[in-house]
Amino acid sequence: MPRQEVDIEGILNSLTQDEKISLLAGATFWETVGIPSKGVPSIKMTDGPNGCRGVDIVGSTKAACFPAASSVASTFDPVLARRVGAALAEEARTKGARVLLAPTVCCHRHPLGGRNFESFSEDPHLSGALATALVRGVQEDGRVAACIKHFVANEQETARLTVDETIGERALREIYLRPFETAVRDARPWSLMTAYNLVNGVHCDGHDWLLRDVLRGEWGWEGAVVSDWGGTNSVAGSINAGLDIEMPGPARVRTPAAVRAAIEAGEVTEATLDERVRAILNLIEKVGGFEPGSAEASSGERAEDRPEHRALIRDVGARGVVLLKNEAQTLPLTKEKVKGKKIALVGLAKDALAHGGGSASVNAHYKISPWDGLHAALGDSVELVYAKGVHRERLLPPLSKDSSVAGEVVGLDGQPGFTRLLYEAGNPEPVSTLHGHVNSAYSPLGSQESLNRAVEIVGDFTPAESGAHYLACSGIRATTVWVDDDVVFRQDSNCADPMGALFMAASEDSFRHTFEGGRAHRIRIRTEPPTNVGMRILEGRSGARMGFMQASEHDADLRGEAERAARDADVAIVFTGHDPQWESEGRDQDSFNLPNGQNELIAAVARANPNTIVVNSTGVAVAMPWLADVRAVVQAWFAGQECGNAVADVLTGAVNPEGNLPVSFPRRLEDAPAHGNFPGQVIDGRLRVTYAEGVFVGYRHYDRLPREAVNFSFGHGLSYTSFQLEGLRVEPSGADEEFVATAQVTNTGSLAGGVAVQLYAGNATQSPEHPAKALVGFQKARLQPGETQSVRLVVRGRDLAYFDEKAREWVVAAGTYLFSAGFSSVDVQQKSSVQVEQRKVYSL
């Protein structure tokens, strides 16, 4: 049914100046301002990139958890990405949201990037193609806007609010802006989010060149620009540059008084104010906000566990799994092969590593662990045994009302759970009491009610066993912990890592305290409302967490137990990876090595059992010092709520692996292109980082190094079958200076399977200023045994161009261009060359 036409200009002209100003910032943490008297509705936004959480950070409405972007990227399949986008839009509507804050389009610059898992790839072509597909999926039903983020160069979490990045225009154009440009030009997302960081000395939310000249000028984009949460840094500067909405609300920077003062001072014109408001009204119109009944559709949140979403998540997760190594055809572990045998599942086998931390965290409908998935897949045909091997968490787990093994927790009402109390300054009596609080971890964004109030979390804990147990605590601001009225922990100042604390990933020192088993101990945590914490969105919000672990569990010989289990088994599978505390928005990786002794665990298991398989669930490349000692390696990423089933499907052969690496896996961190320039140096009180590697990011850099510098190359991925590529031809199409590459790919093995045919191109005359090659096209082919399929890839002339900084234009130099087709950046099967007779220039 066609929508009725909305008179945007008529609405705009009916608004008073104060009403226009009110629209320039959100009304709440997730909603825009509505003006009912003028027919302007409020619309709601929601995270995020792999699931729609809704308004609450803690205790949010249950939602479907989809594979993370790095997992989706590994499919090399835009069709699947589009289906994920469409499903995310359906999820957004169940949360009453009209704007989905996704996808994250930034490139992987360094393996330690804390938020890499949220982004697709190190390669701008692959990132742009998949972002385009996902945006189209989100917006195809016309009721939810995609909001691509973070514009631009948000490649690190360290000091992300204030870091100043020096980036040459060529690197910006060819690497960091390129995936945004592709998505903007080809999919036309209706909204875009700015980054926190500064680029060449200017905050992105007020960056004239980025927002006005490039985004809205060169690319001709007409959507609405939203700040990252707390990422508005100026009044007139951001309004004039093109930032339409400050989030979250209510306004912290664009207060009505501040905007009126800027207008009265001549710093902002009425015409510019109208531009900003017009963009907001157009966004509301595009998502159907003006339609009758739209307010009711956005009013509530529902948890809809849809079978079709379950199936899609499992399918995409499995197709994104990458088989990195498979010596002696160790995999697949079919029922026939393992019948009657014993398999030791070691490490994080009972942990469903479905997602990373921060904006990508959701309260999933459920999470399937590999232990559950393999039990379901193999049934009674095999004996599965388990050994924990290592602790998963960075932090001690919170003491929860569900921690029945450690002991029982009851609140002041005598019921399970803690009691949360809120206090006004100077008032000894609580102004709010909430019983049944889930655990002793309290998010600083968990409750609008706690704003500018002190928080106390109180409960009576009866431990299951006596002894000196381990505790740890941290708060956003001054925080104290009492046990039986004795102070056991005190933090007198603001948290040194507020961003980490925001996402429950700040470092904490543990300490020991003796408890008596069977006796109730009163635990009380109090934290004051923070001020001057360095994060605008945390000002006035109170948050603290306390972790707890029994000494018997903390000090157990987990590795020895795992080694013994592996020695007694026919096959050992070690499950490794990062949970959301280790890989999260808010902080970069601590190390290239897997945490908590996981490398040592793998080495011990491999010594005990020659048939050792490693399944790694991270969103980034990791060190693999044990690579030569294990039979097989599987990269499972963060595959969503069906992660355990997706992994089991690949391990058992129910799904033939077809994933390909969207990032290079270097052998050493020192060989990474940004090494030495990540995360930067503090100069004049500000963290500054120079993108000295320029355009040599990912495989563009590794192509200049010896092959052994990389464990696994970009695009690498094995299969249980085999493929052959033949007959590559590249010819001019005669249309818009395009080239058409054709080839034939054949499944030469005995199983049906999929393969990503990858096409790279570069000037045949090598020079130190230019990468040897770059990805210019790819196509996923799924073939039956013996089947041959034709592959056809269109390459635009500009895809061969480099950006000339002096002339400020895209240039294809005259000469011979070599096209390489194959199954990874180094596994080249076919080559073909074309001649460009004369220099070609492309406008911005």
Greatest C-alpha distance within the chain: 86
Q: Which of 119, 126, 94, 89 minimizes the C-alpha distance to 104?
A: 119
Q: Which pLDDT score is estimated for 667? A: 98
**What DSSP state is assigned to residue 661?**
-
What are the residue numbers of the active site?
A: 228
Q: Which pLDDT score is estimated for 296? A: 59
Task: Specify the pTM.
Answer: 0.95
In angstroms, the CA 139 to CA 47 distance is 16
Q: Are strands 202-203 and 809-812 parallel, antiparallel or unpaired?
A: unpaired
Is 379 strand, coil or helix? Answer: helix
Query: Counting beta carbons within 10 angstroms of the beta carbon of residue 415, is it exposed (0 to 12), middle (13 to 18) or buried (19 or more)?
Result: exposed
**What DSSP state is assigned to residue 416?**
B
CA distances from 605 to 266, 427, 462, 570, 611 (A): 70, 58, 37, 12, 9
CATH, range 6-40+192-286: 3.20.20.300
Q: Are 6-40+192-286 and 43-190+672-712 equal in CATH topology?
A: yes
- Sign, Cα dihedral of 59, 65, 69, 74: positive
CA distances from 61 to 147, 357, 363, 365, 433 (A): 21, 17, 7, 9, 22
DSSP 3-state percent helix, strand, coil across the chain (nearest 5): 25, 30, 45
Dihedral angle at the C-alpha atoms of 603, 606, 607, 608, nearest 10 degrees? 130
In angstroms, the CA 547 to CA 399 distance is 6
The fold of the 723-842 domain, in CATH, is: Immunoglobulin-like (2.60.40)
Sequence-separated (6 or more) residues with CB below 8 Å from residue 559: 389, 390, 597, 600, 601, 604
CA distances from 190 to 100, 193, 243, 245 (A): 10, 11, 14, 13
What superfamily does domain 407-549 belong to in CATH? Galactose-binding domain-like (2.60.120.260)
Q: Where are the alpha helices (DSSP H) in 703-839?
A: none
In angstroms, the CA 227 to CA 161 distance is 12
Low-confidence ranges of the chain (pLDDT < 70): 1-2, 58, 295-299, 401-405, 445-448, 735-736
Size of the chain, expressed as the number of residues it contains: 844
Dihedral angle at the C-alpha atoms of 506, 641, 75, 718, nearest 10 degrees? 90
Q: Which pLDDT score is estimated for 487? A: 96
Residues 494, 476 contacting (CB under 8 angstroms): yes
In the chain, what are the domain boundaries? 6-40+192-286, 43-190+672-712, 407-549, 723-842
Q: Compute the half-sphere exposure of residue 379: CA atoms within 13 Å on the CB side of its CA.
A: 6
The fold of the 43-190+672-712 domain, in CATH, is: TIM Barrel (3.20.20)
Query: Cis bond leading into 124, ω under 30°?
Result: no
